[in-house]
A and B are shown apart, each in its own frame.
Chain A
Amino acid sequence: MKPAEQMRPGRLVPFLFDAERRARLAGGDTRARRGQGAVPCRAFRYGAAVRALALAGVLGVALATVAPTPGWAVEPDEMLDDPALEARAREVSRDLRCVVCQNESIDESNADMARDMRLLVRDRIEQGDSNEEVKQYLVDRYGDYVLLKPPFKPTTYVLWFGPALILAAAAAAAVSFYRRRAAAPPSPPPLSAAEQARLQALIDESEGSKDDDGAGRGGAV
């Protein structure tokens, strides 16, 4: 029997190398990111792959990318001696995206690239950069893409104002719903205190285990 590699190509092989195929289809970039990650990102997305994998497995994403060795995010040898500076470095790292890992902060990522960026962040912090300056340094080289919290600027107004606009629209819809309904016949007025008391008495009297709808609880009108 032939080894697995020699089996019939055709549909199977493209499936195996979906990333490459996708890259090709997307415009000639045949460098598969995971190929590129073979050594420098040896733990390419170990953590990331792990994390939402729970859902991914479910959603049927074929789990093609595997990490040959375990990786860790922040290693003891990269940490700064000064706890205050180290804390700042962690904070900055959490807001920076690992550019090879997709959707993972450099603080969480095991990719070598992320480690390099973490070291850079620590260097710059030690050299006296503020948190914002460190982030700006990377934005200057990789664009806004490295920021997990998108900057507030015209191209992101829709993103940042969006939730408020959606809420306003939803609230307006609710208000208009009430307005339109106000035109309809009004509901009966609330019970007076006396009626309330009488109702309560009646309910308490006839309280039965068949209180199916819980309407017996009074005092709320």
Chain B
Amino acid sequence: MIPEIGHYALTLALCVAVVQAIVPMVGAQRGDLALMNLCRPASVALFLTIAVAFAALTHSYIVSDFSVANVYLNSHTDKPLLYKISGVWGNHEGSLLLWILILAVFSVAVSVFGRNLPPALRARALAVQAMIVVGFLLFILFTSNPFERIDPAPLNGRGLNPLLQDPGLAFHPPMLYLGYVGFSMAFSFAIAALIEGRVDAAWARWVRPWTLLAWIFLTLGIALGSWWAYYELGWGGWWYWDPVENASFIPWLAGTALLHSAIVVEKRDTLKSWTILLAIVTFSLSLLGTFLVRSGVITSVHAFATDPTRGVFILVLLAVTVVGSFSLYAWRAPQMKGGGVFAPISREGTLLLNNVLLSTAAATVLLGTLYPLFADALHLGKVSVGPPFFNAVFVPLMVPMLIVMALGPLLAWKRGDALGAAKRLWLALVAAAGVFAATYVAAGGQATHVGAAFGMGVGAWLLIGTLVEWAERVHLFRASPGVSLRRAVGLPRAAYGMTLAHIGTALLVMGVVGNTAWKTESIQVMSPGETLAMAGHIYRFEGADRVDGPNYDAIRGHFTLLDGDGDRITELAPEKRRYTQPPQATTEAAIHTSGLHDYYAVIGDAATDHGAGAYVTRFYYEPFVPLLWYGALLMGVGGVVSLTDRRHRIGAPARRRAEAAARAASTRASSGPSGGSGVTAPGRAS
């Protein structure tokens, strides 16, 4: 019964979405406020119907209703409750339902929190959002119905892939989806603005929080996936340039560019048609990623359960979306007049450079991901494009961006003083040189380490440069501590958001570079009592035993990690698990972290020909890996802090905006530099 309610709710949602897609749009064209305002109850109804469907599927999972094919295929009674729930989105149909739910959540959030949006803009944006929902509802109802029944019902399910039975992975998909799908809001606003034919600072201000929200989720979602792969995989890697990873990384790059170009629209009323384009492109790339992964047009390590029918459907969805939106763009974008003028060396100039490099990076990763497809379609032969290509082309694009990233926030809007800014970065330069020299020498002074040392130097440059910018802003050491403190408290949260996110980026860069360059590995057979020295530490193998888990059994190895002097640091107990339902083995690495470096132990198969109790063991010294997680977390925290900036809060009192506008007008001439903030929009607000 409940699955039928879910199915019915989905069908009902389709009707509501159709209404929401048409009526407010017509209303906006006619200027009929009543029709326009229909978008609000409609979006609530849409959310409720989809939520009912989602709840119905979740219920089927929780009670293990194996008469539902989807539950039978992906669940099992022995599974812990958490993984029964996460099983809902651990498969194609359920994840699609989650996708639609998130579309609806964003839709309803805009109608609830967007009270101060102009009615026409809101009506159009929500109508566009509903169009996307219609497309995906058609997709799910016609090709991927999660409520399909089996008769008679099997006694038990086939189980969820044990690799998905992990807390990190339980929450990773929803996070990533919130990011992926969240960019739909920027897309909808962009389409609405194109239809309206007007983009101004106020528009940018309304769009930014939604873009930022999506970006935060996507950042954390990717990081969570990477972290999971790192500890679960058993060989300590965290990024592989696999097409599936790229499918999430490309929208991230585009979304990051969008986040920055929207600042220029908001503050300086220019780069408007470009920002609109980026908003469309970012969401289109999310759709493209979905298409690539689910259609099987490219070989990913994951494209093994794909379906051409679904591929065709998503391709049609993608085609309608991109052809429609880019045609609209070609038609309406030329009418947008740019506002503020600025010099290449200025805050906007660096933001534009950021956009040039980030969009080139996104296009490059896309090219590499799709090239096997191009080559095959053009009969140029089968090629593979793997990590060596991506590393070779991606890194040179990032280096200039990271260098300019420290400089940008120190420049004034409109026309900056590069030399002045560079002078104030002397400390960062010293730090970078120091880090470069120190890492180079520490690494043994070989020529092969110049690149890595340089990368660490770039990270230090960005880290210190960002801190210098903050210090300058609060007049640290220039004013009395009291004044500095007052200024620090008074700084807008958006500024702190930028500082945190940029520091996060610096840490991430150092983590990536340092780990790539200095990671070491040791693979051997060990008997109980044997020791192995590696990276200044000693691993002593104490033996291995069998343990039983709820739905698996495992070999658990016992290691003692000793420091260079032979003092015990900790015990490491990696496991090799064998799950029964479905039958599959996983590795549970044991990781000891010093906060800066990780010591990673894995137990392998018994090496019986080396005597009783001997096992294959693997150790990884993973330097700087924690910096990756700190960095990603700081980026996310920076995003959240920025989101809480009152100027981003939707529904911020109009009074404040007027006040800010007045002050902006008075300081316009000087327009002092300030990261992620600055002079209030000269557009509608003033």
Partners in one complex: yes
- A binding-site residues for B, Cβ under 8 Å: 1-4, 7-8, 11-12, 15-16, 18-19, 21-22, 25-26, 33-34, 45-70, 72-76, 79, 94-95, 97, 101-105, 108, 143-150, 155-156, 158-159, 162-163, 166-167, 170-171, 173-174, 177-178, 181, 184-188, 190-191, 199, 203-204, 207-221
Query: Quick check: A51 and B233 within 8 Å, CB to CB?
Result: yes
On whether A213 and B305 interact (CB within 8 A), knowing A52-B245, A70-B605, A103-B299, the answer reads no
**B48-56, B184-192, B323-331, B577-585 - the one binding chain A:** B577-585
Query: Quick check: A50 and B586 within 8 Å, CB to CB?
Result: yes
A132 to chain B, nearest CB (A): 14
Interface residues of B in 339-359 (CB under 8 A from A): 340-344, 352-353, 356-357, 359
A189 to chain B, nearest CB (A): 8
Q: Does B293 sit at the interface, judged by CB under 8 A? A: yes
Q: List 28 A-B contacts (CB under 8 A).
A: A4-B155, A12-B69, A15-B73, A34-B304, A47-B233, A50-B163, A50-B229, A51-B233, A51-B237, A52-B244, A55-B245, A57-B89, A60-B293, A147-B383, A158-B367, A158-B374, A163-B393, A163-B397, A181-B342, A190-B417, A191-B669, A212-B663, A213-B492, A215-B663, A217-B472, A217-B473, A220-B421, A221-B670
Query: Quick check: B306 and A61 within 8 Å, CB to CB?
Result: yes
Query: Quick check: B155 and A50 within 8 Å, CB to CB?
Result: no
Residues of B within 8 A of A105 (CB): 386-387
Contacts between chains A and B (CB distance < 8 A), count: 384
Query: Quick check: B672 and A218 within 8 Å, CB to CB?
Result: yes
Residues of B within 8 A of A191 (CB): 669-670
Residues of B within 8 A of A49 (CB): 163, 301-302, 304
Query: Quick check: B341 and A181 within 8 Å, CB to CB?
Result: yes
Partner of A185, one of B177, B341, B483: B341
Query: Quick check: B384 and A97 within 8 Å, CB to CB?
Result: yes
Partner of B382, one of A63, A144, A184, A204: A144
On whether A79 and B95 interact (CB within 8 A), knowing A149-B389, A211-B490, the answer reads no
Query: Quick check: A57 and B169 within 8 Å, CB to CB?
Result: yes
| Additional A-B contacts beyond A25-B308, A55-B225, A61-B305 (10; CB < 8 A) | A52-B240, A52-B245, A60-B95, A63-B164, A70-B604, A105-B387, A108-B235, A149-B386, A212-B677, A217-B472
Query: Quick check: B667 and A55 within 8 Å, CB to CB?
Result: no
Query: Quick check: A213 and B674 within 8 Å, CB to CB?
Result: yes
Q: Does B300 sit at the interface, judged by CB under 8 A? A: yes
- A21 and B222 CA atoms in complex are apart in Å by 31
Closest 8 CB pairs of A and B: A148-B386, A214-B674, A70-B585, A54-B225, A60-B95, A149-B388, A48-B301, A56-B302
**B35-43, B406-414, B506-514, B627-635 - the one binding chain A:** B406-414
- A221 and B416 CA atoms in complex are apart in Å by 6
- A68 and B578 CA atoms in complex are apart in Å by 9
- A158 and B374 CA atoms in complex are apart in Å by 10
0/1 string, B286-326, CB within 8 A of A gives 1: 00011001101001111111111000000000000000000
Query: Quick check: B90 and A63 within 8 Å, CB to CB?
Result: yes
Query: Quick check: B359 and A170 within 8 Å, CB to CB?
Result: yes
- A170 and B306 CA atoms in complex are apart in Å by 35
- A7 and B359 CA atoms in complex are apart in Å by 50
Q: Does B567 sit at the interface, judged by CB under 8 A? A: no
Residues of B within 8 A of A56 (CB): 244, 293, 300-302
A180 to B, closest residue via Cβ: B338
A74 to chain B, nearest CB (A): 6
Query: Quick check: A12 and B616 within 8 Å, CB to CB?
Result: no
A7 to chain B, nearest CB (A): 5
Residues of A within 8 A of B75 (CB): none
B500 to chain A, nearest CB (A): 15
Query: Quick check: A57 and B164 within 8 Å, CB to CB?
Result: yes
On whether A217 and B383 interact (CB within 8 A), knowing A56-B293, A75-B616, A101-B301, the answer reads no
Interface residues of B in 395-434 (CB under 8 A from A): 397, 410-412, 414-417, 420-421
Query: Quick check: A66 and B161 within 8 Å, CB to CB?
Result: yes
- A84 and B316 CA atoms in complex are apart in Å by 53
Query: Quick check: A145 and B383 within 8 Å, CB to CB?
Result: yes
B565 to chain A, nearest CB (A): 26
Q: Does B258 sit at the interface, judged by CB under 8 A? A: no
Residues of B within 8 A of A63 (CB): 90-91, 160-161, 163-164, 305
Residues of A within 8 A of B151 (CB): 7-8
Partner of B152, one of A2, A19, A59, A144: A2
Residues of B within 8 A of A75 (CB): 523, 604, 616
Query: Quick check: A102 and B300 within 8 Å, CB to CB?
Result: yes
The listed residue with most B CB atoms (<10 A of its CB), out of A52, A72, A95, is: A52
Partner of A215, one of B161, B240, B299, B678: B678
0/1 string, B166-179, CB within 8 A of A gives 1: 00110011001100
On whether A174 and B229 interact (CB within 8 A), knowing A19-B304, A25-B308, A57-B164, the answer reads no
Q: Does B380 sit at the interface, judged by CB under 8 A? A: yes
Residues of B within 8 A of A149 (CB): 386, 388-389, 392
- A156 and B393 CA atoms in complex are apart in Å by 14
On whether A95 and B371 interact (CB within 8 A), knowing A55-B244, A187-B343, the answer reads no
Interface residues of B in 43-80 (CB under 8 A from A): 69, 72-74
A158 to chain B, nearest CB (A): 7
On whether A72 and B583 interact (CB within 8 A), knowing A19-B304, A159-B389, the answer reads no
A56 to B, closest residue via Cβ: B302
On whether A150 and B301 interact (CB within 8 A), knowing A60-B294, A159-B367, A209-B490, the answer reads no
Residues of B within 8 A of A102 (CB): 299-301, 303-304
The listed residue with most B CB atoms (<10 A of its CB), out of A48, A50, A143, A209, is: A50
A109 to B, closest residue via Cβ: B301
Query: Quick check: A51 and B240 within 8 Å, CB to CB?
Result: yes
0/1 string, B657-686, CB within 8 A of A gives 1: 000100110010111111101111000000
- A1 and B289 CA atoms in complex are apart in Å by 42
Q: Does B243 sit at the interface, judged by CB under 8 A? A: yes
Q: Does B385 sit at the interface, judged by CB under 8 A? A: yes
Query: Quick check: B420 and A199 within 8 Å, CB to CB?
Result: no
0/1 string, B130-165, CB within 8 A of A gives 1: 000000000000000000101111111010110110
Residues of B within 8 A of A213 (CB): 492, 660, 663-664, 667, 674, 677-680
